[in-house]
Amino acid sequence: MENEHLPTTLLEAVRFFTDIDRCTQFMALVRWPEGVTCPHCTATRNSFNKARRYWQCKDCRKQFTIKTGSVMEDSPIGLDKWLPAIWMIVNAKNGVSSYEIHRALGITQKSAWFLLHRIRLAMQAKSFEKLSGHVEVDETFIGGRARFMHKHERERKIKGTGGYGKVAVMGLLERHGEVRVHVVGDRRRRSLDGSVREHVEAGSHVYSDALKSYSELKDEYIHAVIDHAEKYVDGNVHTNSIENFWSLLKWALKGTYVSVEPFHLFRYLDEQSFRFNKRTGNDLYRFLEVAKCLTGRRLTFEQLTGDAAQ
Protein backbone atom coordinates (compact mmCIF):
# COMPACT_ATOMS: atom_id res chain seq x y z
CA MET A 1 0.00 0.00 0.00
CA GLU A 2 2.94 2.34 0.61
CA ASN A 3 4.08 2.03 -3.03
CA GLU A 4 0.66 2.77 -4.50
CA HIS A 5 -0.59 6.28 -5.03
CA LEU A 6 -3.32 6.88 -2.45
CA PRO A 7 -5.94 9.62 -2.82
CA THR A 8 -5.52 12.95 -1.07
CA THR A 9 -8.76 14.69 -2.12
CA LEU A 10 -12.41 13.67 -2.38
CA LEU A 11 -12.27 13.66 -6.18
CA GLU A 12 -9.23 11.37 -6.14
CA ALA A 13 -10.91 9.14 -3.56
CA VAL A 14 -14.03 8.70 -5.69
CA ARG A 15 -11.90 7.77 -8.70
CA PHE A 16 -9.60 5.51 -6.65
CA PHE A 17 -12.46 3.51 -5.11
CA THR A 18 -14.44 3.08 -8.31
CA ASP A 19 -12.90 -0.37 -8.85
CA ILE A 20 -14.36 -2.96 -6.43
CA ASP A 21 -11.29 -5.19 -6.76
CA ARG A 22 -9.03 -2.30 -5.79
CA CYS A 23 -11.31 -1.51 -2.84
CA THR A 24 -11.11 -5.12 -1.65
CA GLN A 25 -7.33 -5.21 -1.98
CA PHE A 26 -6.99 -1.85 -0.22
CA MET A 27 -9.21 -2.83 2.73
CA ALA A 28 -7.46 -6.20 3.04
CA LEU A 29 -4.13 -4.40 3.45
CA VAL A 30 -5.65 -2.01 6.01
CA ARG A 31 -7.35 -4.76 7.98
CA TRP A 32 -4.65 -7.45 7.72
CA PRO A 33 -1.28 -5.73 7.22
CA GLU A 34 0.53 -8.95 8.24
CA GLY A 35 -1.57 -11.17 5.98
CA VAL A 36 -5.22 -12.25 5.71
CA THR A 37 -6.53 -13.84 8.91
CA CYS A 38 -9.78 -15.76 9.28
CA PRO A 39 -12.19 -13.75 11.50
CA HIS A 40 -13.78 -17.01 12.68
CA CYS A 41 -10.75 -18.99 13.88
CA THR A 42 -7.81 -16.54 13.35
CA ALA A 43 -6.05 -19.02 11.06
CA THR A 44 -3.82 -17.62 8.31
CA ARG A 45 -4.22 -20.43 5.76
CA ASN A 46 -6.87 -19.47 3.24
CA SER A 47 -7.71 -19.25 -0.45
CA PHE A 48 -9.23 -16.29 -2.28
CA ASN A 49 -12.06 -16.54 -4.78
CA LYS A 50 -11.31 -13.66 -7.10
CA ALA A 51 -14.56 -13.91 -9.06
CA ARG A 52 -16.80 -13.59 -5.98
CA ARG A 53 -14.31 -11.71 -3.76
CA TYR A 54 -14.35 -13.94 -0.70
CA TRP A 55 -11.82 -16.01 1.20
CA GLN A 56 -12.23 -19.58 2.45
CA CYS A 57 -10.34 -20.67 5.52
CA LYS A 58 -8.44 -23.94 5.08
CA ASP A 59 -8.70 -24.72 8.79
CA CYS A 60 -12.34 -24.10 9.77
CA ARG A 61 -13.57 -24.20 6.14
CA LYS A 62 -15.72 -21.11 6.63
CA GLN A 63 -16.04 -18.38 4.05
CA PHE A 64 -15.57 -14.69 4.83
CA THR A 65 -15.36 -11.36 3.03
CA ILE A 66 -13.72 -8.05 3.82
CA LYS A 67 -16.99 -7.01 5.53
CA THR A 68 -17.20 -10.00 7.88
CA GLY A 69 -16.78 -8.99 11.52
CA SER A 70 -16.95 -5.25 10.78
CA VAL A 71 -19.53 -2.46 10.85
CA MET A 72 -20.13 -3.21 7.14
CA GLU A 73 -21.23 -6.80 7.76
CA ASP A 74 -24.43 -7.85 5.95
CA SER A 75 -24.52 -4.55 4.07
CA PRO A 76 -25.57 -4.88 0.40
CA ILE A 77 -23.88 -1.55 -0.34
CA GLY A 78 -20.55 -2.03 -2.14
CA LEU A 79 -17.15 -0.83 -0.99
CA ASP A 80 -17.16 1.63 -3.88
CA LYS A 81 -19.84 3.56 -1.95
CA TRP A 82 -18.81 2.76 1.62
CA LEU A 83 -15.30 4.15 1.26
CA PRO A 84 -16.23 7.48 -0.40
CA ALA A 85 -18.92 7.91 2.29
CA ILE A 86 -16.29 7.44 5.01
CA TRP A 87 -14.03 9.97 3.28
CA MET A 88 -16.87 12.50 3.14
CA ILE A 89 -17.97 12.31 6.77
CA VAL A 90 -14.52 12.28 8.38
CA ASN A 91 -13.38 15.31 6.41
CA ALA A 92 -16.52 17.48 6.44
CA LYS A 93 -16.00 20.08 9.17
CA ASN A 94 -19.73 20.47 9.77
CA GLY A 95 -20.68 16.88 8.99
CA VAL A 96 -22.59 15.48 6.04
CA SER A 97 -26.29 14.65 6.06
CA SER A 98 -27.89 11.38 4.98
CA TYR A 99 -29.68 13.26 2.19
CA GLU A 100 -26.36 14.45 0.80
CA ILE A 101 -24.97 10.90 0.87
CA HIS A 102 -28.22 9.68 -0.71
CA ARG A 103 -27.87 12.12 -3.61
CA ALA A 104 -24.11 11.79 -4.05
CA LEU A 105 -23.87 7.97 -3.98
CA GLY A 106 -27.23 6.99 -5.43
CA ILE A 107 -28.55 5.03 -2.45
CA THR A 108 -31.77 5.54 -0.50
CA GLN A 109 -31.85 8.11 2.30
CA LYS A 110 -32.70 5.37 4.79
CA SER A 111 -29.65 3.34 3.73
CA ALA A 112 -27.48 6.46 3.90
CA TRP A 113 -28.72 7.21 7.42
CA PHE A 114 -27.93 3.67 8.57
CA LEU A 115 -24.52 3.76 6.84
CA LEU A 116 -23.54 7.05 8.50
CA HIS A 117 -24.44 5.79 11.97
CA ARG A 118 -22.27 2.72 11.46
CA ILE A 119 -19.39 4.93 10.39
CA ARG A 120 -19.91 7.02 13.53
CA LEU A 121 -19.50 3.83 15.55
CA ALA A 122 -16.07 3.37 13.95
CA MET A 123 -15.24 6.98 14.86
CA GLN A 124 -15.92 6.29 18.54
CA ALA A 125 -12.79 6.79 20.65
CA LYS A 126 -11.52 4.03 22.95
CA SER A 127 -8.96 5.80 25.11
CA PHE A 128 -8.27 4.76 28.70
CA GLU A 129 -5.65 7.44 29.35
CA LYS A 130 -6.76 10.38 31.45
CA LEU A 131 -6.46 13.98 30.35
CA SER A 132 -3.72 15.95 32.07
CA GLY A 133 -1.95 19.30 32.11
CA HIS A 134 -4.40 22.17 31.59
CA VAL A 135 -7.98 20.95 31.15
CA GLU A 136 -11.10 23.03 30.52
CA VAL A 137 -14.46 21.64 31.61
CA ASP A 138 -17.89 22.94 30.71
CA GLU A 139 -21.42 21.81 29.98
CA THR A 140 -24.10 22.83 27.52
CA PHE A 141 -27.62 21.96 26.49
CA ILE A 142 -28.55 20.48 23.12
CA GLY A 143 -32.09 20.97 21.82
CA GLY A 144 -34.44 23.08 19.74
CA ARG A 145 -34.64 26.84 20.22
CA ALA A 146 -37.89 28.19 21.60
CA ARG A 147 -38.08 31.06 19.09
CA PHE A 148 -38.19 28.59 16.18
CA MET A 149 -41.11 26.60 17.63
CA HIS A 150 -44.79 27.10 16.87
CA LYS A 151 -46.62 28.94 19.65
CA HIS A 152 -48.55 25.85 20.81
CA GLU A 153 -45.43 23.66 20.61
CA ARG A 154 -43.47 26.22 22.62
CA GLU A 155 -46.16 26.36 25.31
CA ARG A 156 -46.15 22.55 25.54
CA LYS A 157 -42.35 22.07 25.72
CA ILE A 158 -40.96 25.20 27.41
CA LYS A 159 -42.05 25.15 31.04
CA GLY A 160 -38.92 26.06 32.95
CA THR A 161 -35.49 27.55 32.38
CA GLY A 162 -33.59 27.55 29.09
CA GLY A 163 -32.40 23.97 29.62
CA TYR A 164 -35.85 22.48 30.10
CA GLY A 165 -36.57 19.72 27.60
CA LYS A 166 -32.98 19.69 26.32
CA VAL A 167 -30.15 17.20 26.77
CA ALA A 168 -27.22 18.10 29.02
CA VAL A 169 -23.80 17.45 27.51
CA MET A 170 -20.44 17.73 29.28
CA GLY A 171 -17.10 18.40 27.64
CA LEU A 172 -13.53 18.10 28.88
CA LEU A 173 -10.80 19.58 26.70
CA GLU A 174 -7.07 19.28 27.24
CA ARG A 175 -5.45 22.42 25.86
CA HIS A 176 -3.52 21.63 22.67
CA GLY A 177 -4.85 18.08 23.03
CA GLU A 178 -8.04 16.10 22.72
CA VAL A 179 -11.62 16.65 23.75
CA ARG A 180 -14.02 14.18 25.37
CA VAL A 181 -17.74 14.77 25.26
CA HIS A 182 -20.61 12.75 26.68
CA VAL A 183 -24.25 13.06 27.65
CA VAL A 184 -24.93 13.61 31.36
CA GLY A 185 -28.20 13.33 33.21
CA ASP A 186 -28.06 16.79 34.76
CA ARG A 187 -25.74 19.59 35.92
CA ARG A 188 -25.59 18.51 39.52
CA ARG A 189 -22.37 17.88 41.42
CA ARG A 190 -22.64 14.09 41.39
CA SER A 191 -22.70 14.10 37.58
CA LEU A 192 -20.17 16.79 36.68
CA ASP A 193 -17.71 16.30 39.55
CA GLY A 194 -17.68 12.54 38.94
CA SER A 195 -16.99 12.99 35.22
CA VAL A 196 -14.02 15.24 35.90
CA ARG A 197 -12.48 12.74 38.33
CA GLU A 198 -13.07 9.90 35.88
CA HIS A 199 -11.42 11.57 32.90
CA VAL A 200 -8.80 13.97 34.34
CA GLU A 201 -5.60 12.96 36.09
CA ALA A 202 -5.26 14.17 39.69
CA GLY A 203 -2.99 17.19 40.10
CA SER A 204 -3.92 18.70 36.74
CA HIS A 205 -4.97 22.31 36.25
CA VAL A 206 -8.75 22.41 35.79
CA TYR A 207 -10.58 25.50 34.53
CA SER A 208 -14.34 25.91 34.82
CA ASP A 209 -17.03 28.54 35.13
CA ALA A 210 -18.57 29.51 38.46
CA LEU A 211 -21.09 26.66 38.56
CA LYS A 212 -21.19 25.28 42.12
CA SER A 213 -21.13 21.68 40.86
CA TYR A 214 -17.35 22.10 40.38
CA SER A 215 -16.67 23.60 43.81
CA GLU A 216 -15.23 20.41 45.36
CA LEU A 217 -12.56 19.82 42.69
CA LYS A 218 -9.88 21.70 44.64
CA ASP A 219 -9.16 18.64 46.81
CA GLU A 220 -7.49 16.78 43.88
CA TYR A 221 -6.89 19.46 41.25
CA ILE A 222 -5.50 22.94 40.85
CA HIS A 223 -8.92 24.41 40.19
CA ALA A 224 -9.35 27.92 38.78
CA VAL A 225 -12.73 29.54 38.18
CA ILE A 226 -13.76 32.20 35.68
CA ASP A 227 -17.04 33.97 36.51
CA HIS A 228 -18.72 34.82 33.22
CA ALA A 229 -20.90 37.39 34.93
CA GLU A 230 -17.76 39.50 35.36
CA LYS A 231 -15.37 38.52 32.53
CA TYR A 232 -14.48 35.72 30.14
CA VAL A 233 -10.68 35.71 30.36
CA ASP A 234 -8.34 36.28 33.29
CA GLY A 235 -4.83 35.57 32.09
CA ASN A 236 -4.60 31.80 31.63
CA VAL A 237 -7.97 31.18 33.27
CA HIS A 238 -10.74 30.75 30.70
CA THR A 239 -12.94 28.14 29.02
CA ASN A 240 -12.73 29.60 25.52
CA SER A 241 -11.37 26.42 23.92
CA ILE A 242 -14.26 24.21 25.00
CA GLU A 243 -16.68 27.02 24.14
CA ASN A 244 -15.21 26.99 20.63
CA PHE A 245 -15.88 23.26 20.43
CA TRP A 246 -19.51 23.83 21.47
CA SER A 247 -19.80 26.33 18.64
CA LEU A 248 -18.53 23.78 16.09
CA LEU A 249 -20.79 21.07 17.47
CA LYS A 250 -23.96 23.15 17.45
CA TRP A 251 -23.18 24.55 14.00
CA ALA A 252 -23.05 20.97 12.68
CA LEU A 253 -26.18 19.83 14.54
CA LYS A 254 -28.32 22.81 13.58
CA GLY A 255 -26.85 23.57 10.18
CA THR A 256 -26.32 20.08 8.75
CA TYR A 257 -28.42 17.61 10.71
CA VAL A 258 -31.18 20.09 11.67
CA SER A 259 -32.92 17.68 14.06
CA VAL A 260 -31.20 15.01 16.18
CA GLU A 261 -33.05 12.61 18.46
CA PRO A 262 -31.67 12.49 22.03
CA PHE A 263 -31.41 8.70 21.64
CA HIS A 264 -28.77 9.15 18.92
CA LEU A 265 -27.06 12.30 20.21
CA PHE A 266 -24.00 10.49 21.60
CA ARG A 267 -23.16 9.23 18.11
CA TYR A 268 -23.00 12.78 16.75
CA LEU A 269 -20.83 13.75 19.72
CA ASP A 270 -18.42 10.93 18.79
CA GLU A 271 -18.33 12.17 15.20
CA GLN A 272 -17.52 15.78 16.08
CA SER A 273 -15.01 14.74 18.75
CA PHE A 274 -13.16 12.54 16.25
CA ARG A 275 -12.77 15.33 13.71
CA PHE A 276 -11.63 17.75 16.41
CA ASN A 277 -9.09 15.33 17.89
CA LYS A 278 -7.67 14.50 14.42
CA ARG A 279 -7.66 18.12 13.25
CA THR A 280 -3.90 18.30 12.75
CA GLY A 281 -3.88 15.44 10.21
CA ASN A 282 -4.77 15.57 6.54
CA ASP A 283 -7.79 14.03 4.80
CA LEU A 284 -6.07 10.72 4.06
CA TYR A 285 -4.87 10.39 7.66
CA ARG A 286 -8.40 10.80 9.05
CA PHE A 287 -9.79 8.37 6.49
CA LEU A 288 -7.22 5.69 7.36
CA GLU A 289 -7.83 6.16 11.09
CA VAL A 290 -11.49 5.25 10.62
CA ALA A 291 -10.80 2.50 8.07
CA LYS A 292 -8.63 0.76 10.67
CA CYS A 293 -11.46 0.88 13.23
CA LEU A 294 -14.20 -0.66 11.08
CA THR A 295 -13.38 -4.16 12.34
CA GLY A 296 -14.59 -5.64 15.61
CA ARG A 297 -17.65 -3.39 15.87
CA ARG A 298 -21.22 -4.13 14.88
CA LEU A 299 -24.42 -2.10 14.77
CA THR A 300 -27.64 -3.63 13.45
CA PHE A 301 -30.65 -1.66 12.28
CA GLU A 302 -32.69 -3.05 15.19
CA GLN A 303 -30.10 -1.82 17.68
CA LEU A 304 -30.00 1.56 15.98
CA THR A 305 -33.76 2.05 16.06
CA GLY A 306 -34.22 0.60 19.54
CA ASP A 307 -36.11 -2.50 18.35
CA ALA A 308 -33.46 -5.05 19.33
CA ALA A 309 -35.33 -6.19 22.45
CA GLN A 310 -38.65 -6.55 20.65
pLDDT of 3 reads 43
Q: Which of 144-148, 232-236, 289-293, 294-298 has the lowest mean pLDDT?
A: 144-148
- Which tens digit of pLDDT belongs to each residue from 183-214? 998 899 999 999 999 999 999 999 999 999 99
Q: Which of 154-163, 276-285, 294-303 has the lowest mean pLDDT?
A: 154-163
Domain residue limits, the chain: 10-31+67-123+292-305, 134-260
pLDDT of 306 reads 81
> How many angstroms separate the CA atoms of 64 and 19, rounded?
20
Indicate whether 234 pLDDT > 80.
yes
Q: Which CA distances in Å does 31 have to 1, 97, 310?
A: 12, 27, 34
- Which tens digit of pLDDT belongs to each residue from 101-156? 999 999 999 999 999 999 999 999 877 899 999 999 999 999 755 444 455 555 55
220 pLDDT tier (thresholds 50, 70, 90): very high
Indicate whether 160 pLDDT > 60.
no
- Which tens digit of pLDDT belongs to each residue from 26-77? 999 999 999 999 999 999 999 999 999 999 999 999 999 999 999 999 999 9
pLDDT of 5 reads 83
CATH number for region 134-260: 3.30.420
If one compares 155 and 219, the residue with the highest pLDDT of the two is 219
- Which tens digit of pLDDT belongs to each residue from 167-182? 999 999 999 999 999 9
If one compares 166 and 273, the residue with the highest pLDDT of the two is 273
pLDDT of 148 reads 45
pLDDT of 126 reads 78
- Which tens digit of pLDDT belongs to each residue from 245-276? 999 999 999 999 988 888 999 999 999 999 99
- For the residues 275-282, what does the mean pLDDT come to? 95
Q: Is the whole-model pTM more than 0.85?
A: yes
163 pLDDT tier (thresholds 50, 70, 90): low
Indicate whether 309 pLDDT > 70.
no
